[in-house]
A and B are shown apart, each in its own frame.
Chain A
Amino acid sequence: EVQLVESGGGLVQPGRSMKLSCAASGFTFNNYDMAWVCQAPKKGLEWVATISYDGSSTYYRDSVKGRFTISRDNAKSTLYLQMDSLRSEDTATYYCARHEILTTAGFDYWGQGVMVTVSS
Protein backbone atom coordinates (compact mmCIF):
# COMPACT_ATOMS: atom_id res chain seq x y z
CA GLU A 1 0.00 0.00 0.00
CA VAL A 2 1.36 3.40 -1.01
CA GLN A 3 1.79 5.73 1.96
CA LEU A 4 3.05 9.28 2.17
CA VAL A 5 3.44 10.69 5.67
CA GLU A 6 4.35 14.34 6.14
CA SER A 7 5.93 15.83 9.24
CA GLY A 8 7.56 19.04 10.40
CA GLY A 9 4.75 21.58 10.31
CA GLY A 10 3.66 23.99 13.01
CA LEU A 11 3.77 27.66 13.95
CA VAL A 12 6.68 29.78 12.74
CA GLN A 13 7.37 33.51 12.77
CA PRO A 14 7.58 35.52 9.56
CA GLY A 15 11.08 35.53 8.11
CA ARG A 16 12.04 32.27 9.80
CA SER A 17 12.58 28.82 8.30
CA MET A 18 10.90 25.44 8.49
CA LYS A 19 11.64 22.06 6.91
CA LEU A 20 8.95 19.58 5.96
CA SER A 21 9.56 15.88 5.43
CA CYS A 22 7.53 13.24 3.66
CA ALA A 23 8.28 9.57 4.31
CA ALA A 24 7.23 7.35 1.43
CA SER A 25 6.54 3.63 1.50
CA GLY A 26 4.80 0.95 -0.50
CA PHE A 27 6.38 1.80 -3.85
CA THR A 28 9.78 2.23 -5.49
CA PHE A 29 10.40 5.84 -4.48
CA ASN A 30 13.27 6.47 -6.88
CA ASN A 31 11.07 5.67 -9.88
CA TYR A 32 8.76 8.64 -9.37
CA ASP A 33 8.85 12.41 -9.60
CA MET A 34 7.46 13.93 -6.41
CA ALA A 35 5.80 17.22 -5.54
CA TRP A 36 4.52 19.51 -2.84
CA VAL A 37 1.06 21.04 -3.19
CA CYS A 38 -0.41 23.50 -0.72
CA GLN A 39 -3.87 24.67 0.27
CA ALA A 40 -4.44 27.87 2.25
CA PRO A 41 -7.30 27.72 4.77
CA LYS A 42 -10.65 27.56 2.97
CA LYS A 43 -8.89 28.05 -0.39
CA GLY A 44 -8.01 25.95 -3.42
CA LEU A 45 -5.02 23.83 -4.31
CA GLU A 46 -1.71 25.33 -5.43
CA TRP A 47 1.25 23.42 -6.80
CA VAL A 48 4.44 24.44 -5.00
CA ALA A 49 7.34 22.42 -6.40
CA THR A 50 8.33 19.22 -8.20
CA ILE A 51 11.53 17.19 -8.14
CA SER A 52 12.48 14.58 -10.71
CA TYR A 53 12.88 10.91 -9.75
CA ASP A 54 16.65 11.22 -9.42
CA GLY A 55 16.74 14.73 -7.96
CA SER A 56 18.48 16.17 -10.99
CA SER A 57 15.69 18.57 -11.89
CA THR A 58 13.53 20.84 -9.75
CA TYR A 59 10.67 23.18 -10.59
CA TYR A 60 8.98 25.86 -8.47
CA ARG A 61 6.03 28.21 -8.59
CA ASP A 62 7.19 31.82 -8.93
CA SER A 63 6.09 32.91 -5.46
CA VAL A 64 8.48 30.46 -3.75
CA LYS A 65 11.48 30.58 -6.08
CA GLY A 66 14.60 31.52 -4.15
CA ARG A 67 12.88 30.85 -0.80
CA PHE A 68 11.84 27.17 -0.93
CA THR A 69 14.01 24.18 -1.85
CA ILE A 70 12.64 20.76 -2.72
CA SER A 71 14.99 17.81 -2.28
CA ARG A 72 14.90 14.07 -1.81
CA ASP A 73 16.91 11.24 -0.30
CA ASN A 74 16.18 8.15 -2.34
CA ALA A 75 18.11 5.93 0.07
CA LYS A 76 15.67 6.96 2.80
CA SER A 77 12.58 7.22 0.52
CA THR A 78 12.03 10.71 1.86
CA LEU A 79 11.01 13.99 0.24
CA TYR A 80 11.80 17.36 1.78
CA LEU A 81 10.73 20.97 1.50
CA GLN A 82 13.03 23.57 3.03
CA MET A 83 11.09 26.79 3.45
CA ASP A 84 13.08 29.97 4.17
CA SER A 85 12.04 33.61 4.57
CA LEU A 86 8.52 32.50 5.35
CA ARG A 87 5.65 34.94 4.82
CA SER A 88 2.13 35.04 6.21
CA GLU A 89 0.82 34.12 2.76
CA ASP A 90 2.71 30.79 2.99
CA THR A 91 0.26 29.71 5.69
CA ALA A 92 -1.36 26.54 4.35
CA THR A 93 -1.66 22.80 4.58
CA TYR A 94 1.21 21.28 2.62
CA TYR A 95 0.67 17.97 0.89
CA CYS A 96 3.34 15.64 -0.39
CA ALA A 97 2.14 14.09 -3.65
CA ARG A 98 3.41 11.46 -6.06
CA HIS A 99 3.38 12.28 -9.76
CA GLU A 100 1.88 9.64 -12.00
CA ILE A 101 4.63 7.93 -14.02
CA LEU A 102 3.32 10.04 -16.90
CA THR A 103 3.63 13.44 -15.25
CA THR A 104 0.88 14.91 -17.40
CA ALA A 105 -1.46 12.55 -15.58
CA GLY A 106 -1.39 14.45 -12.33
CA PHE A 107 -0.79 13.32 -8.76
CA ASP A 108 -2.03 9.84 -7.93
CA TYR A 109 -1.19 9.60 -4.23
CA TRP A 110 -1.26 12.31 -1.58
CA GLY A 111 -0.17 12.48 2.03
CA GLN A 112 -2.53 13.54 4.79
CA GLY A 113 -1.07 17.03 4.81
CA VAL A 114 0.79 19.08 7.40
CA MET A 115 -0.26 22.54 8.54
CA VAL A 116 2.20 25.43 8.42
CA THR A 117 1.16 28.65 10.13
CA VAL A 118 3.31 31.74 9.63
CA SER A 119 2.46 34.30 12.27
CA SER A 120 4.09 36.47 14.87
Chain B
Amino acid sequence: DIQMTQSPTSLAASVGESVTITCLASEDIYGSLVWYQQKPGKSPQLLIYGATILEDGIPSRFSGSGSDTQYSLKINSLQPEDFASYYCQNGLSTPYTFGAGTKLELK
Protein backbone atom coordinates (compact mmCIF):
# COMPACT_ATOMS: atom_id res chain seq x y z
CA ASP B 1 0.00 0.00 0.00
CA ILE B 2 1.11 3.57 -0.66
CA GLN B 3 1.58 5.49 2.58
CA MET B 4 0.85 9.23 2.59
CA THR B 5 2.74 11.27 5.20
CA GLN B 6 1.30 14.72 5.65
CA SER B 7 2.87 17.59 7.60
CA PRO B 8 2.42 19.51 9.72
CA THR B 9 -0.35 17.91 11.77
CA SER B 10 -1.53 21.36 12.81
CA LEU B 11 -0.71 24.88 11.84
CA ALA B 12 -1.67 28.26 13.27
CA ALA B 13 -1.76 31.29 11.01
CA SER B 14 -3.38 34.70 10.66
CA VAL B 15 -5.72 36.06 8.04
CA GLY B 16 -3.67 37.35 5.13
CA GLU B 17 -0.72 35.03 5.70
CA SER B 18 0.39 32.26 3.35
CA VAL B 19 0.85 28.65 4.43
CA THR B 20 2.18 25.47 2.88
CA ILE B 21 1.19 21.89 3.68
CA THR B 22 3.29 19.00 2.43
CA CYS B 23 2.50 15.41 1.56
CA LEU B 24 5.05 12.67 1.01
CA ALA B 25 4.10 9.45 -0.75
CA SER B 26 5.94 6.22 0.06
CA GLU B 27 6.44 5.62 -3.66
CA ASP B 28 6.09 7.51 -6.91
CA ILE B 29 2.42 8.33 -7.58
CA TYR B 30 3.12 10.02 -10.92
CA GLY B 31 1.30 13.21 -10.05
CA SER B 32 -1.93 11.47 -8.99
CA LEU B 33 -2.25 13.56 -5.85
CA VAL B 34 -5.51 15.02 -4.63
CA TRP B 35 -6.15 17.67 -1.96
CA TYR B 36 -9.37 18.13 0.02
CA GLN B 37 -10.63 20.68 2.50
CA GLN B 38 -12.96 19.65 5.30
CA LYS B 39 -14.75 22.01 7.67
CA PRO B 40 -16.08 20.79 11.04
CA GLY B 41 -19.26 18.77 10.65
CA LYS B 42 -19.10 18.96 6.86
CA SER B 43 -18.17 16.64 4.04
CA PRO B 44 -14.76 16.97 2.37
CA GLN B 45 -14.48 19.22 -0.69
CA LEU B 46 -12.16 18.52 -3.60
CA LEU B 47 -9.66 21.35 -4.05
CA ILE B 48 -6.92 20.12 -6.37
CA TYR B 49 -6.35 17.00 -8.43
CA GLY B 50 -3.50 15.83 -10.60
CA ALA B 51 -1.23 17.58 -8.06
CA THR B 52 -1.71 21.01 -9.67
CA ILE B 53 -5.17 21.29 -11.27
CA LEU B 54 -7.63 23.50 -9.43
CA GLU B 55 -11.17 22.11 -9.24
CA ASP B 56 -13.84 24.37 -10.73
CA GLY B 57 -14.97 27.04 -8.31
CA ILE B 58 -11.95 26.85 -6.04
CA PRO B 59 -10.29 30.24 -5.45
CA SER B 60 -6.95 30.85 -7.13
CA ARG B 61 -5.25 31.51 -3.78
CA PHE B 62 -5.06 27.70 -3.54
CA SER B 63 -2.31 26.06 -5.53
CA GLY B 64 -0.67 22.68 -5.69
CA SER B 65 2.76 21.55 -6.77
CA GLY B 66 5.01 18.54 -6.72
CA SER B 67 5.85 15.34 -8.52
CA ASP B 68 7.04 11.80 -7.90
CA THR B 69 6.73 11.40 -4.13
CA GLN B 70 6.70 15.01 -2.85
CA TYR B 71 3.73 17.35 -3.05
CA SER B 72 2.54 20.53 -1.46
CA LEU B 73 -0.55 22.68 -1.09
CA LYS B 74 -0.08 26.42 -0.76
CA ILE B 75 -2.74 28.84 0.37
CA ASN B 76 -1.97 32.50 -0.28
CA SER B 77 -3.55 35.37 1.58
CA LEU B 78 -5.57 33.25 4.02
CA GLN B 79 -9.24 34.10 4.32
CA PRO B 80 -11.41 33.38 7.39
CA GLU B 81 -13.19 30.56 5.53
CA ASP B 82 -9.89 28.75 4.88
CA PHE B 83 -9.44 27.67 8.50
CA ALA B 84 -10.28 24.00 8.23
CA SER B 85 -8.64 20.59 7.92
CA TYR B 86 -6.81 19.57 4.77
CA TYR B 87 -6.11 16.06 3.48
CA CYS B 88 -3.99 14.71 0.68
CA GLN B 89 -4.92 11.49 -1.10
CA ASN B 90 -3.15 8.98 -3.31
CA GLY B 91 -5.24 8.86 -6.48
CA LEU B 92 -3.02 6.40 -8.31
CA SER B 93 -4.14 3.03 -7.06
CA THR B 94 -6.20 1.19 -4.49
CA PRO B 95 -6.22 1.41 -1.58
CA TYR B 96 -6.78 5.13 -2.11
CA THR B 97 -4.87 6.20 0.98
CA PHE B 98 -5.20 9.59 2.65
CA GLY B 99 -2.75 11.61 4.66
CA ALA B 100 -3.59 12.00 8.35
CA GLY B 101 -4.66 15.59 7.82
CA THR B 102 -3.53 19.09 8.71
CA LYS B 103 -5.67 21.27 10.92
CA LEU B 104 -5.26 24.93 10.00
CA GLU B 105 -6.20 27.14 12.92
CA LEU B 106 -6.53 30.85 13.42
CA LYS B 107 -3.63 32.34 15.36
For residue B99, which residue of chain A has the nearest CB? A44
For residue A100, which residue of chain B has the nearest CB? B49
In the complex, whether B50 has a CB less than 8 A from a CB of chain A is yes
* Interface residues in A49-76 (C-beta closer than 8 Å to B): 50, 59, 61-62
- Residues on A with C-beta less than 8 A from B95 are 47, 59, 61-62
B50 in complex: contacting residue of A47, A95, A105, A113, CB < 8 Å = A105
Interface size bucket, B side?
20 to 34
In the complex, whether A46 has a CB less than 8 A from a CB of chain B is yes
Interface size bucket, A side?
20 to 34
| Given A95-B43, A112-B43, also A106-B89 (CB < 8 A) | yes
In the complex, whether B34 has a CB less than 8 A from a CB of chain A is yes
Q: Check A45 against B98 for contact (C-beta < 8 Å).
A: yes
In the complex, whether A104 has a CB less than 8 A from a CB of chain B is yes
- Residues on A with C-beta less than 8 A from B43 are 95, 110-113
Cα distance A55–B92 in the bound complex, in angstroms: 20
Q: Check A107 against B92 for contact (C-beta < 8 Å).
A: no
CB distance from A100 to the nearest CB of B (A): 7
Complex interface bits, A95-120 against B, C-beta within 8 A gives 1, otherwise 0: 10000100111111011110000000
Q: Check B87 against A106 for contact (C-beta < 8 Å).
A: no
Cα distance A37–B43 in the bound complex, in angstroms: 11
Q: Check B96 against A108 for contact (C-beta < 8 Å).
A: no
For residue B87, which residue of chain A has the nearest CB? A45
Which A residues are closer than 8 A to B by beta carbons?
Answer: 35, 37, 44-47, 50, 59, 61-62, 95, 100, 103-108, 110-113
